[in-house]
């Protein structure tokens, strides 16, 4: 399962993962190709017509979360 933590995600896959984490869980609101790859990596699963994070997916979201730092340097 470590692969799901280490595999690089495309921008679309990252967006889909963040959307699922924030509660957007209906497949029609997510890119099918992104969801398919996230499933392959065991980051999300489908249950009763909704997409949800797996424990591994939740770990990936926490690991990927980076504080936004603006480099507006004066």
> Tens digits of per-residue pLDDT, 13-31?
999 999 999 999 899 999 9
With 80 as the cut, is the pLDDT of residue 1 above it?
A: no
Q: Would you say residue 29 lies in a domain?
A: yes
Residue keyed to tokens 């957007």: 24
Q: Would you say residue 69 lies in a domain?
A: no
Could you list the residue range(s) of the whole structural domain that residue 41 is in? 2-63
Q: Would you say residue 74 lies in a domain?
A: no
Q: Would you say residue 68 lies in a domain?
A: no
Stated pTM of the model: 0.82
CA distance 48 to 10: 26
Q: How many domains does the chain have?
A: 1
* 2 Cβ contact partners less than 8 Å away, ≥ 6 residues apart: none
Q: Would you say residue 73 lies in a domain?
A: no
């Amino acid at each position: 399962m470590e692969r799901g933590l280490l595999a690089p995600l495309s921008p679309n896959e990252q967006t889909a993962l963040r959307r699922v984490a924030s509660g957007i869980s209906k497949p029609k609101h997510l890119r099918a190709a992104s969801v398919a790859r996230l499933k392959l990596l065991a980051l999300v699963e489908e249950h009763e017509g909704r997409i949800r994070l797996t424990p591994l997916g939740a770990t990936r979201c926490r690991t990927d979360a980076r504080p936004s730092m603006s480099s507006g340097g004066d």
